């Protein structure tokens, strides 16, 4: 069967991202029965690899659905009517979490900043001091739609000092930031394979602290017998090596391949590669006379680079032109940020000078095609000069 649309030459979007040939190859292996001893061994190995990627000894649960599943599962497993949840909002995903908080009967207390800014830990401290009955805190680590990061280490420290449990969306943080669930008091941390890990979409990677497990057990009644239940995974996989339901076998193969590639490179080096390519990307963007979306260099994320829409250029026209004329797929603004910025992706294998050079070259040419005064090569040149030696 052929598709009417030409497929892109390069997918440099905000996730799902292109995966390596190794991931694709592993995903084509025969599908094992999930109680085949080989699959049990493989699933256990993948959970162990996830622990190493997160740099944690906390329990790991692989929920069998896109990361939104685990974000909702954390809410459903923890929140009860009457609970107050401090919801930190620096972008679309932070804002959206209030929906799960209210859906499970809890009360969101919102602390919001403009969507090109990051949460100020001082304000978190003040909010927890002002309302000592706050029980939970939810925060997005890497706000992919805003291309910014929040200081979750400082936030976690403050939460812990107030006896508040944290739910951290680090879906695009894993792989682009060095994590420390124990050190940073991340009680439930959620990542996805389809962002900086360069894996397939379709799984939630969750780490759970002992305190979070206890809170789930204290929930009245504890959430069990549900696709959203983290306790079901603990009582089956973590204690008995059985499954509450059939895992997405091929996707687990793909995740294993992506994790092995990350760990062979080394978690520190893998993260540093994302950080260094993002830095170079920002220098390239600035050299083109464009404005970075993030208010400050220190809060610019390493998963994607957000660029404010230049005057006179329409977001859909620019992205459409890059995709149709040059076969390069990038991402736009999302939700209430639609039309205000575009995002250059550098996750997984795209966190590489070759992808960065191609992306900036096509961006420059596309802007020139659309009548923007740019000097061809200026962005690529600046980015290549900015690359770490
Ligand atoms: C990608 C992502 C998710 C997962 O959401 P989808 O809309 O299903 O892709 C959640 N949080 C953040 C910060 C993400 O980047």
CA 64–ligand 1 middle distance (angstroms):
15
Calpha distance 376→183 (Å, rounded): 46
CA 385–ligand 1 middle distance (angstroms):
32
In this predicted model, what pLDDT tens digit does every residue of 283-307 receive, in sequence order? Answer: 999 999 999 999 999 999 999 999 9
CATH, domain 9-17+267-386, list 3.40.250.10, 3.90.1150.10, 3.40.50.1100, 3.40.1410.10 = 3.90.1150.10
Indicate the domain borders of the chain. Answer: 9-17+267-386, 21-263
CA 103–ligand 1 middle distance (angstroms):
19
In this predicted model, what pLDDT tens digit does every residue of 26-57 receive, in sequence order? Answer: 999 999 999 999 999 999 999 999 999 999 99
Report residues whose beta carbon is within 6 angstroms of any ligand 1 atom.
15, 66-68, 93, 140, 142-144, 169, 171-172, 192, 195
Q: Is the pLDDT of residue 133 over 60?
A: yes
Which of 17, 68, 194 maximizes ligand 1 atoms within 8 Å of its Cβ, making it the mutation to test the pocket?
Answer: 68
Residue nearest atom 10 in ligand 1 by C-alpha distance: 171
- The encoded tokens of residue 28 equal 């084509």
Residue nearest atom 12 in ligand 1 by C-alpha distance: 171
Return the pLDDT at 1.
56
In this predicted model, what pLDDT tens digit does every residue of 151-197 receive, in sequence order? Answer: 999 999 999 999 999 999 999 999 999 999 999 999 999 999 999 99
Which of 14, 67, 68, 119 maximizes ligand 1 atoms within 8 Å of its Cβ, making it the mutation to test the pocket?
Answer: 67
Return the pLDDT at 4.
73
Q: Do domains 9-17+267-386 and 21-263 have the same CATH topology?
A: no
Calpha distance 383→215 (Å, rounded): 47
Q: Domain 21-263 belongs to what architecture? A: 3-Layer(aba) Sandwich (3.40)
Give all strands (DSSP E) within the chain, no chain letters.
Answer: 10-11, 59-63, 84-89, 107-112, 134-140, 142-143, 148-149, 165-169, 188-191, 204-208, 304-308, 328-329, 331-332, 341-345
Q: Is the pLDDT of residue 68 over 70?
A: yes
Q: Is the pLDDT of residue 259 over 90?
A: yes
In this prediction the pTM is 0.97
């Amino acid at each position: 069967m052929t598709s009417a649309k030409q497929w892109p030459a390069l997918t440099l979007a905000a996730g799902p991202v292109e995966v390596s040939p190794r991931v694709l190859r592993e995903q084509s292996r025969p599908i094992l029965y999930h109680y085949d001893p080989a699959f049990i061994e493989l699933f256990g190995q993948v959970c162990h690899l996830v622990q190493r990627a997160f740099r944690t000894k906390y329990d790991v649960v692989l929920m069998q659905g896109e990361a939104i599943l685990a974000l909702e599962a954390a809410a459903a497993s923890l929140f009860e009517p009457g609970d107050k949840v401090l919801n930190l909002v620096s972008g679309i995903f932070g804002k959206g979490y209030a929906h799960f908080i209210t859906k499970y009967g809890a009360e969101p207390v919102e602390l919001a900043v403009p969507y090109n800014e990051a949460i100020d830990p001082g304000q978190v401290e003040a909010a927890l001091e002002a309302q000592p009955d706050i029980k939970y805190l939810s925060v997005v680590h890497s706000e992919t739609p805003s291309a910014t990061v929040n200081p979750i280490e400082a936030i976690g420290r403050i939460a812990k000092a107030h006896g508040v449990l944290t739910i951290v969306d680090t879906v695009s943080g894993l792989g682009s930031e060095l994590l420390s669930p124990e050190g940073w008091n991340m009680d439930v941390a959620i990542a996805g394979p389809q962002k900086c890990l360069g894996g397939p979409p379709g799984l939630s990677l969750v780490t759970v602290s002992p305190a979070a497990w206890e809170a789930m057990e204290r929930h009245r009644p504890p959430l069990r017998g549900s696709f959203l239940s983290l306790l079901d995974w603990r009582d089956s996989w973590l204690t008995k090596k059985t499954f509450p339901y059939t895992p997405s076998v091929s996707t687990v193969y793909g995740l294993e391949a992506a994790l092995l590639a990350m760990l062979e490179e080394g978690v520190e080096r893998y993260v540093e590669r994302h950080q260094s390519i993002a830095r170079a990307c920002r220098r390239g963007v600035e050299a083109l006379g464009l404005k970075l979306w993030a208010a400050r260099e220190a809060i610019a994320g390493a998963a994607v680079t957000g660029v404010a829409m230049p005057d006179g250029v329409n977001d859909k026209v620019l992205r459409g032109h890059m995709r149709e004329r040059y076969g390069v797929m990038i991402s736009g603004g999302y939700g209430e940020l639609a039309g205000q910025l575009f995002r250059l992706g550098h996750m997984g294998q795209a966190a590489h000078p070759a992808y960065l050079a191609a992306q900036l070259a096509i961006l420059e040419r596309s802007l020139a095609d659309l009548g923007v005064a740019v000097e061809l090569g200026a962005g690529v040149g600046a980015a290549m000069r900015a690359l770490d030696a």
